[in-house]
Structure 1
């Protein structure tokens, strides 16, 4: 089995497993040989905060790169300037005509000019009115996003064809208006095509969908709101063309009066009015030409959609954003649209009452948080909005099949948010957030019999196409990231039923682990559930103590891990995670006994410990198995007896020469000697064969090996007479003088408590006491090499660090019955005899 580390949108640094003949495990996951363990305290608060994302790439090629929608807001600004300038000229011409021409010259005004002015005013008024409302209707007409599956792209293309066809029709020659009926037939055909290709889910809304509102009853499709925008569009286009034609015609003819008095002003007044009307119409047509150039020729909407890393079906979202920006520029200041961005736009849509709008908003955010270019800004902005985060958390609990895509996208966003520590704290701080995350987990198994919960499961389970596996993976990924924080672990543990759900995903068995046809999602679900459990049980302090107690109480926890150890030969990563969980649980005395009493666990750990190793990865798994056994056998008579029943003393002694197993094998042998019952004394006699090895290690080794060798030596000497261990010293070519001198040197070297070898001075003092009690000659030797000075310095520098056999973070567990200071006092008494 190979374990390949990849980056994807669901799991930062996720592991993909592929089964091949040679089992292996990803060294990037397992890391180096453990430089620290539960036998050493860990300083807390210095770990780097997980970000849940790769460093974003720098894009300095253009100032548009990090916000492509700026092109649309700038385009909307320029259009709004042209639009407002044209409207201003139109308003000025309207005032001029009503006050000066029709008011001051209405009597002498020629009948022809009277009607031309009147027609221009009416058509211009119609255009301004239709323009002010066209955007409103056009804005609503953009809500055509559907869940049409394979037909969705075809529908977008069809609607885009209508859009381009209408725009192009604007700038055809004036004579082309004669073919309007033919164009309308093409539009009708396109509308029918879209209707056939779009497959809307049968959502049940208590309000009207704006694009389907029948404004006039029994009027058919003509008065549907989605068609009114088209009518208004053509109305203002025809009005502008009419104004331009009439104004240009009268400016060319200039037969306003037959003979105007020298002081008459009618002709200049008419020229000014027709010029204003012509300029206003030309500006409007210039705006339309600019629109056509950018939208149809340059394909600005498609370009921005592509630069935002959105798909073809998201083009509707870009259109809606553009219309929103344009409307803001038209209805308010021309600069209002510049304040808009796609992230804020998507956040607003999340609070809509319509599924289509919610889906647009959540999918934009989903794609942005998974983009290397936009994820940083998006996560920061979404994470700083409590309302948005509350809405996303609420979406996690939506179980209606019609809302499946919304729920899944929201889960992906929350999983990305949870990768940042500050955001993870905010997510967990939202009331009901853990319950919402828990609702993502569904295994199909029932552990309780409460009627409403069973009904809820069946409600979702009846939907055969519902993607439970995807939601399970996302839910476990969110919990995995949230569990990076100590406070969040406490909340996970106190959420009703959540721990049982997580443990349930660790259920495997032979049919799953030894099945070549198993899906990647099934293995990934087991892996993520084990990762979550590992983070919970390795939590420090009172929270960790509570979690270890609660998790060990779940009857399936240890048995599920046992199955992984027994059948997971092809999934070494799962075995590694399972062993790490056993190791953490073993810090609790009650859990230690439960693990040992679960049949097969100790046997499987021993099997993994002594399993032939061909790769570095297998070495690491064996090291972890040894550490688990060292914790399980600590202060547990029953577990020590279970290990002895496997008849492994000789193999443990032999493994003391194995650099990979030496440390943990020494710890296991020490525990077996210290805590086994008196009935096992005969079985333990075989441990004396390790004497030459551990004595040699004391003389030449340093660090952890030295520490465990000293601790084991004292236990070995308990099974030997004074003559026997003197003989062992001679066999190892070590004189009593050199041995005593070495012990004094060790205390002098480690003159202060050391975090990497916190028990080394304690073990030395214990061995010194044993030697002085066994033979008086050692008292004289220790006096000779000034052991009293070394002991005095130890007495002045003792600390709590040296009073515990193992640690949870910086907190010591299972305090020793006898403190180091009392041992030093006893050594002084013996030394002073």
Structure 2
């Protein structure tokens, strides 16, 4: 079977593909067994089409990976919610004391001693009450203004930096190798500009509402929070100053009122405590936010990138508001994932951008991805919204769409989440919208403004193409999703279009990596589709083959892709899978140059894995296809001799050479029989593999031996045995030993017993094999008992060449039970007939 090679390790950046495993390859090595876990280069893992396999149970492979750091320790955002809780404790304590002080002053002092108070105390009390009342009863409203101000905390700077943004973008185009820091600044300014441009809705945006007419920017809502904050600070400072002054002087006049002095002392003390707690809250806020840079620390730990401060500031105010408005413990129940999910469901694009950016950063972060995807995957509304965002095609929504595509790509990496994504009505069509290339877009005359045309020209279609192909590749790991991809109108043709690679691209060593990656991902998706099991796979293989560009695109990659061996391997894997369909097999054989290229790669490739892939494709093409066998024999005049020589290499190509030789001998037809007689030169190598080989090598060597024997008689066969240092008895003992070892059908070598029994029948029917008949009837060797045991244990698995999963596709021409009965009949009758004993 195929093993994980350079392709598997090279495609980690795609987050998907297949795991290939190879020990001793099976007879016809093609079927792709897609694991649900990590993926390699081929988009499907490998198992044999010549052996049935059981699909993995639902969910298997989806829970693996490194342990989640967010689950193993406190979430970084917990530091913000804890800070919000502590601030809320101070705030509520100050507000409680303020309300008590307010009630004490109004009921006791002003209600009971108003006429006896000194004018100084009266005005101090009045000023303190007005300040405290305004602060306490307006605190919730001040928080509301602060909350609205954070909706677009960068909007003001964005307007001033729009010209700088254009300049930085121009510099980035002229100097593509900019530093990471400058790129981050450009992206941050782009983020700000998008917020300002995209928040233009049919309704007013809260931070920009003008409260009074003709006042311009002075009385907009985002300025009010600052005003209220400073007023509260001034109120608290005035309260502290007045309270300290009166407590220090204590020149209270009693005028016969025994309780007035302690009442005033209590009032000023409560006012001082309330104002001090409020100022302590502000100092604590300033210390954590400005000195300790709490937001920067949490942003770094959450790996939110250059937009972390904007997002976390909004998150903190939401948590703080909840602690203030309800229980102090309400805010600590918040986390960034839930917060982001609420934002993406908003009607304002600036909020949606913040929310989807948080999800994108958390979903791609190694420490938080697992927990984020688990929570997001259980919220149908959130999944529907991010899938809906894939259709947002306006240039100003490019950032939102890109982040949503990356989130969907990560979601599709988990099997259960992939099923939820594909289950959304229109989801496949939304993903298909990412594959739009911009070719055939409306001309500038059809675009309303010059600015819109310029934005459309700089729209990065390729990055969305790559994301769309990656999402499709991950979805295609599930059988049902492959059917949905195939049924989506125009999607398969679009994927095939991306598999086109021009010679200029393939032969250019400095070609853009993104362009090559797009071709690679398209090939991976096609490979996964053609290796789909069951009836769905049969339809998909036919649909892929019916696209007139598919084989031509693959031929171009084989012809010019010498610098991209991974692409060549994928192309040959696709040809191998397509060849399982008879109509596709004929299409491949009938396309000029494909067979010749495969033979050239098989014989000349320096990279063994590449040669092995070519051999598998050729072997599958030749299976039960007379037309393909004829095309292989016509492609090179000396095709048999190099194949015989390959058997002596004992490398990865040896097994595929035996497969190809066997299929050519079995299915080429009588007109090529004379040319195929040269296959007898392979007898020594095949005998050695029969005697020393195991499992799949043994299976295919016995099968090839049966076909070689059709070109000789018993005497020549006995002479070949003696030339290899064997006699008739040793060979018959080897055959009986194989049957004893495989008393029952074995899934990984389902044709082992069939090939051995076919060889036994040939030994009993070929002229000049009288000695073999005696040995086969020898009770000491026990061939008859073994055949009787086989007759009682035959299985349907042994009646097919090819399996698509556990579904058989290509049936042997002769039933295995009939072959066993023939062998038993010949043994019983002692027949020495002269029939050729040819088998498929």
Range into which the TM-score falls when normalised by the shorter chain: 0.7 to 0.9
TM-score, length basis structure 1 = 0.86
1:726: how far off?
Answer: 4.0
1:389: how far off?
Answer: 0.9
Does 2:45 match 1:45?
no
Counterpart of 2:182 in structure 1 is none
Q: Is the 8 A contact 2:363 2:372 kept in 1?
A: yes
TM-score, length basis structure 2 = 0.85
Q: Is the 8 A contact 1:765 1:827 kept in 2?
A: yes
Q: Is the 8 A contact 2:579 2:621 kept in 1?
A: yes
Query: Superposed, which structure 2 residues align to 1:357-372 within 5 Å?
Result: 357-372=351-366
In 1, the alpha carbon distance for the partners of 2:749 and 2:221 equals: 78
SS of residue matched to 2:647: helix
Q: Deviations over 1:615-657 (max 9, x none)?
A: xxx1122112111111111111111111111220111122222
In 2, the alpha carbon distance for the partners of 1:374 and 1:232 equals: 38
Counterpart of 2:622 in structure 1 is 633
Higher mean displacement: 581-590 or 107-116: 107-116
In 1, the alpha carbon distance for the partners of 2:7 and 2:51 equals: 29
SS of residue matched to 1:256: coil
Q: How many residues align?
A: 766
In 2, the alpha carbon distance for the partners of 1:224 and 1:737 equals: 103
Query: Superposed, which structure 2 residues align to 1:294-373 within 5 Å?
Result: 294-373=288-367
Does 2:135 match 1:109?
no
In 2, the alpha carbon distance for the partners of 1:605 and 1:47 equals: 37
Does 2:527 match 1:534?
yes
1:76: how far off?
Answer: 1.3
Does 2:718 match 1:718?
no
Counterpart of 1:611 in structure 2 is 604
Q: Please, which of 651, 661, 680 is the counterpart of residue 642 of structure 2?
A: 651
1:311: how far off?
Answer: 2.9
Counterpart of 1:184 in structure 2 is none
Counterpart of 1:144 in structure 2 is 153
SS of residue matched to 2:604: coil
In 2, the alpha carbon distance for the partners of 1:9 and 1:266 equals: 78
1:360: how far off?
Answer: 1.0
Does 2:788 match 1:792?
yes
1:612: how far off?
Answer: 4.5
Q: Please, which of 79, 82, 100 is the counterpart of residue 74 of structure 1?
A: 82
Q: Give the direction of change, closer, same or farther, for the CA distance of 1:331–1:509 in structure 2 (3 Å limit).
A: same
Q: Is the 8 A contact 2:41 2:524 kept in 1?
A: no
1:396: how far off?
Answer: 1.1
RMSD between aligned residues: 3.2
Q: Give the direction of change, closer, same or farther, for the CA distance of 1:9–1:380 in structure 2 (3 Å limit).
A: farther
Counterpart of 2:25 in structure 1 is none
In 2, the alpha carbon distance for the partners of 1:112 and 1:693 equals: 117
Q: Give the direction of change, closer, same or farther, for the CA distance of 1:714–1:294 in structure 2 (3 Å limit).
A: closer
Q: Deviations over 1:404-435 (max 9, x none)?
A: 01111111111111111121121112221111
1:722: how far off?
Answer: 4.3
SS of residue matched to 2:347: coil
SS of residue matched to 2:803: strand
Q: Deviations over 1:569-595 (max 9, x none)?
A: 111111111111111111111111111
In 2, the alpha carbon distance for the partners of 1:611 and 1:539 equals: 31
Q: Please, which of 15, 21, 28 is the counterpart of residue 11 of structure 1?
A: 15
Counterpart of 1:824 in structure 2 is 820
Query: Superposed, which structure 2 residues align to 1:28-427 within 5 Å?
Result: 36-45=47-56, 49-51=60-62, 54-56=65-67, 66-142=74-150, 143-145=152-154, 201-203=196-198, 204-257=200-253, 259-260=255-256, 264-427=258-421
Name stretches of at least 5 consecutive residues in structure 2 with no aligned partner.
20-38, 166-188, 830-840
1:7: how far off?
Answer: 8.8
In 2, the alpha carbon distance for the partners of 1:795 and 1:682 equals: 36
Higher mean displacement: 656-665 or 135-144: 656-665
1:267: how far off?
Answer: 2.2
Moved over 6 A (4+): 1-4, 6-9, 152-155, 459-462
Does 2:753 match 1:761?
yes
Q: Is the 8 A contact 2:17 2:473 kept in 1?
A: no
In 2, the alpha carbon distance for the partners of 1:93 and 1:9 equals: 64
Counterpart of 1:525 in structure 2 is 518
Counterpart of 1:159 in structure 2 is none
SS of residue matched to 1:805: strand
Counterpart of 1:602 in structure 2 is 595
In 2, the alpha carbon distance for the partners of 1:91 and 1:471 equals: 57
Counterpart of 2:687 in structure 1 is 695
Q: Give the direction of change, closer, same or farther, for the CA distance of 1:101–1:481 in structure 2 (3 Å limit).
A: same
Q: Please, which of 560, 564, 575 is the counterpart of residue 567 of structure 1?
A: 560
Q: Give the direction of change, closer, same or farther, for the CA distance of 1:544–1:461 in structure 2 (3 Å limit).
A: farther
Q: Give the direction of change, closer, same or farther, for the CA distance of 1:666–1:461 in structure 2 (3 Å limit).
A: farther
1:829: how far off?
Answer: 1.7
Does 2:700 match 1:708?
yes
In 2, the alpha carbon distance for the partners of 1:557 and 1:428 equals: 25
Q: Deviations over 1:198-244 (max 9, x none)?
A: 68653331121222111011122221111111211121122222222
Q: Give the direction of change, closer, same or farther, for the CA distance of 1:388–1:199 in structure 2 (3 Å limit).
A: closer
Q: Is the 8 A contact 1:6 1:14 kept in 2?
A: no
Q: Give the direction of change, closer, same or farther, for the CA distance of 1:46–1:620 in structure 2 (3 Å limit).
A: farther
Higher mean displacement: 578-587 or 743-752: 743-752
SS of residue matched to 2:562: coil
Higher mean displacement: 600-609 or 243-252: 243-252
1:36: how far off?
Answer: 4.6
Counterpart of 2:803 in structure 1 is 807
Q: Is the 8 A contact 1:73 1:340 kept in 2?
A: yes
In 1, the alpha carbon distance for the partners of 2:528 and 2:688 equals: 39
Q: Give the direction of change, closer, same or farther, for the CA distance of 1:81–1:755 in structure 2 (3 Å limit).
A: same
1:116: how far off?
Answer: 2.8
Q: Give the direction of change, closer, same or farther, for the CA distance of 1:681–1:148 in structure 2 (3 Å limit).
A: farther
1:760: how far off?
Answer: 1.6
Q: Is the 8 A contact 2:194 2:397 kept in 1?
A: no
